A = this chain, B = another copy of it.
Amino acid sequence: MIKKVIDNGKKGVRYNLVLNERAQLVLHSIIENYIQSSEPIGSRTLSKTIGITLSPATIRNIMSDLAELGYLIQNHTSAGRVPTDKAYRFYVNSLASPPSIPQQIKEKISQVSNEQGSQVEAILAEAVRMLAELTKFACVVSTPKAAVSRLQRIELIKISEDRILVILVTKAGVVRDKIIFTKDSQSQEFLNSVAEFLNDKFKNHSMQEIREEIHESMVDDRNRYHDLLAHAIRLGKKAFELNQPGEMLIDGQMNLLLDSHFHEQSSVRSLIDAFDQKSAIMKILDDSMKYKGVHIFIGIENDLKQLQGCSLITASYRNNQNVLGSIGVVGPTSMDYKRIISMVDYTAKILSKTITEQSYD
């Protein structure tokens, strides 16, 4: 029996991993039906909606084989079948590069770039909000990695006897501020010199590099006797210390709770915890920065237990220089991949465009 389905024409090869065309069509059809209805698909309904004419019995045979190969499961004997993660993986792999997207949606997403003149964070917040609204799922975006972002400008401002305000502007247009405390009060003029020194030395260097270079300077004893230098190093150390714990913006978590797929399951609680902790999801986003274009994590593929039953669709955004971060959608594994993929893809593109225009290169 199995031979029928898996045999790709060549006799003798019994366990061919490639599905024959008809099996593929059936599987495809089951998945698309299930995405629409969220209900187990039976042989009869399928025989109606599927393009070619196949009797329910034939379809049953095929389905039985697909089940054996791990693409479908049955919740109980007399129920229709439901796609597994493996099936979704097959499905998204079979999709061509990001499907087209309605003009209307395009325009909506493009509004993100109206945030012109706002800072990067505001743009990201708007993008993630918009995406959550459109997809009706939870959306996340990682802010530009501090480590890789390059310095455009540092500014030191004395705001009281013992406090100095540090302003960092990166090439990507991110502004960070932080207050540092000092024991010995310096004049603003002196701080200006220090800032000028730091600007000269570190402009265009990445934060990571800067931290390393400062660390080296500290080890070098000679610097101790140079007043300006010594102060610059001490202040610089504190200033660049702002180890932004790689921020992440979230929107639309609520959508997940209201989504019927999760409503039933008791997994909601743990899903929320996952969002609260951020770190785990952050890690996945970071991961996805490696990939070009849209990347998809399906259910069990992400090793985070709480995200079983969820798929994550991500796309990285960038400026001229670097990949900066990643934006993504978290939804049930049975989400409408075509729709969501195209939206994520397009949003990331708009994001890249908008941020590139804002950058200082």
Contact = CB atoms under 8 A, between A and B. Distances in A.
A117 B179 contact: yes
Contact of A159 (B152, B179, B276): B152
Contact of A157 (B167, B180, B254, B272): B167
A254 to B, nearest CB: 5
A175 interface: yes
Contacts of A272: 254, 258
A269 interface: yes
B153 A157 contact: yes
A67 interface: no
A169 interface: yes
B165 A175 contact: yes
A117 B159 CA distance: 13
A169 B177 CA distance: 11
A119 to B, nearest CB: 6
A257 B269 CA distance: 10
A253 interface: yes
7 contacts: A118-B179, A119-B179, A153-B157, A155-B155, A165-B175, A253-B254, A258-B269
Interface of A: 117-119, 152-153, 155, 157, 159-160, 165, 167, 169, 173, 175, 177-181, 253-254, 257-258, 268-269, 272, 276, 360
